[in-house]
């Protein structure tokens, strides 16, 4: 194991850090769940159809089933075929059957015309009055054939996917196990949200933000509490979290202050720190380490920093751990105003709002502690290293948050 010492690594680029993080992804394994409870999970095996869809030739409209060659003649109605009813009569020359949408097309028929395109005489005979040549028949197997793959593994299951599972009889589905995430907030200045902060104290928002982000990403989060500025207490909390989880998130204690001893605590628990600084703003003092079957992030204490670092580093890792073929939702939009900044040595991530006319506009944002800026943002916009100004109207990428 490579031992860690403060300052023995330089600041790495975001792209390099992301590659390192993803390279340490450990697959979580699989489990079987009911298809009813599978929405939001990652599909771990292909879903195969056990039937043709449609399973029979069915009427696509309410109307009359007949032979196309009889459309210019009067036709005798043999029966009424409701959806779910098996036709009893075969269509022959000069005959038709009234049929409802979804019902099986009777033998001998190759055309269904709509009720709106029909006229019924006083003798009950039916005449086609339309002009369309569309046969209005959904053919057996035209959507799916028995044995076809209808859902590919690696996707996040959506409600429409549940409907597909139901249609092919897949009532038990194999999904990736949800990663277990342990969350620890560090700092004696923190109090829980139910407490009113005294002078020099602040409420702990990071833990609950990260719990919500973890759940949205398809993981299960467990909060271990606030680790005050005591190395032994922090060591015990971290050791427990490492034993019980796949991934541990710690916030605070990763800068250069007298009480920022999280790196040393990580080392004591056997964690090898791979990097401890990243050329991003916000989030420079982001730490990443590994230990056997664990990965650990030391995230900055400022809430915007921890939020953004979760989205750009932790969430992609979680997706890979679950075998998900995931790409963040991004839009290419025109910038609605001029954007400028003074420091250009780090990649910036700026919260932006999408306007009604489809432009991206930075929200009022005072820095990495300004968590109340994020609820007004629809996404975050990356600013490349070296870029100090972006003109209005320039096309920019916006990642959904």
Res 34: pLDDT: 98
Which two tokens mark 118?
Answer: 């029909």
First to last CA, the chain: 36
pLDDT band at 255 (very low <50, low <70, confident <90, very high): low
Distance CA 300, CA 314 (A): 13
- The string of pLDDT tens digits covering residues 273-326 is 999 999 999 999 999 999 988 999 999 999 999 999 999 999 999 999 999 989
More confidently predicted of 1 and 340 = 340
CATH of range 58-138; options 3.40.50.300, 1.10.3720.10, 2.170.190.11, 3.30.1330.10:
2.170.190.11
- The string of pLDDT tens digits covering residues 199-249 is 999 999 999 999 999 999 999 999 999 999 999 999 999 999 999 999 999
What class does CATH assign to 31-52+144-176?
alpha beta
Res 10: pLDDT: 76
Say if CB 184 and CB 224 are below 8 A apart.
yes
Distance CA 251, CA 286 (A): 9
- The string of pLDDT tens digits covering residues 384-393 is 999 999 999 9
- Across the chain, what does the average pLDDT equal? 94
Query: Domain ranges in the chain?
Result: 14-29+177-321, 31-52+144-176, 58-138, 330-400
The proportion of the chain whose per-residue pLDDT surpasses 90, expressed as a percent, equals 92
Distance CA 171, CA 203 (A): 45
Distance CA 390, CA 397 (A): 12
CATH superfamily of 14-29+177-321: MoaB/Mog-like domain (3.40.980.10)
Q: Is the dihedral of CA 258, 264, 268, 271 positive or negative?
A: positive
The proportion of the chain whose per-residue pLDDT surpasses 70, expressed as a percent, equals 96
pLDDT band at 80 (very low <50, low <70, confident <90, very high): very high
Other CB atoms within a 10 A radius of the CB of residue 160 amount to: 8
Res 9: pLDDT: 57
Has residue 258 got a pLDDT over 50? no
Rounded alpha-carbon distances, angstroms, from residue 54 to 64, 102, 112, 167: 19, 9, 16, 10
Res 115: pLDDT: 97
- The CATH architecture annotation of domain 330-400 reads Beta Barrel (2.40)
Residue 273 bridge partners (DSSP): 289
């Amino acid at each position: 194991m490579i031992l860690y010492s403060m300052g023995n690594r330089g600041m790495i680029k975001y792209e390099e850090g992301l590659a390192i993080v993803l390279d340490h992804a450990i697959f979580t394994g699989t489990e079987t769940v009911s298809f009813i409870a599978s929405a939001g999970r990652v599909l771990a095996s292909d879903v195969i159809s056990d039937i043709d869809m449609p399973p029979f030739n069915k009427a696509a409209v309410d109307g009359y089933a007949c032979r196309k060659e009889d459309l210019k003649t009067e036709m005798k109605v043999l029966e009424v075929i409701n959806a779910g009813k098996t036709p009893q009569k075969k269509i022959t020359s000069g005959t038709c059957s009234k049929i409802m949408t979804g019902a099986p097309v009777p033998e001998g028929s190759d055309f269904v015309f709509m009720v709106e395109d029909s006229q019924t005489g006083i003798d009950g005979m039916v005449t086609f009055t339309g002009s369309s040549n569309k046969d209005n028949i959904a053919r057996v197997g035209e959507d799916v054939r028995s044995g076809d793959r209808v859902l590919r593994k690696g996707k996040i299951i959506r409600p429409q996917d549940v409907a597909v599972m139901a249609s092919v009889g897949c009532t038990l589905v194999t999904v990736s196990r949800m990663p277990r995430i342990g969350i620890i907030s560090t700092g004696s200045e923190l109090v829980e949200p139910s407490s009113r902060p005294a002078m020099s104290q602040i409420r702990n928002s990071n833990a609950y933000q990260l719990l919500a982000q973890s759940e949205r990403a398809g993981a299960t989060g467990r909060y271990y509490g606030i680790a005050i500025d005591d190395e032994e207490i922090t060591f015990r909390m971290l050791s427990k979290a490492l034993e019980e989880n796949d991934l541990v998130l710690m916030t605070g204690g990763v800068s250069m202050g007298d009480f920022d001893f999280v790196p040393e605590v990580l080392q004591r628990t056997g964690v090898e720190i791979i990097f401890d600084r990243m050329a991003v703003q916000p989030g420079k003092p982001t730490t990443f380490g590994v230990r056997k079957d664990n990965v650990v992030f030391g995230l900055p204490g400022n809430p915007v920093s921890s939020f953004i670092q979760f989205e750009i580093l932790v969430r992609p890792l979680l997706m890979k751990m679950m075998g998900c073929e995931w790409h963040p939702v991004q839009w290419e939009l025109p910038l609605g105003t001029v954007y400028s900044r003074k420091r250009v040595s780090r990649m910036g991530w700026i919260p932006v709002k999408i306007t009604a006319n489809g432009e991206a506009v930075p929200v009022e944002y005072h820095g990495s502690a300004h968590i109340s800026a994020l609820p007004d943002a629809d996404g975050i916009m990356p600013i490349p290293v070296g870029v100090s100004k972006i003109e209005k109207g320039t096309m920019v990428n916006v990642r959904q948050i």
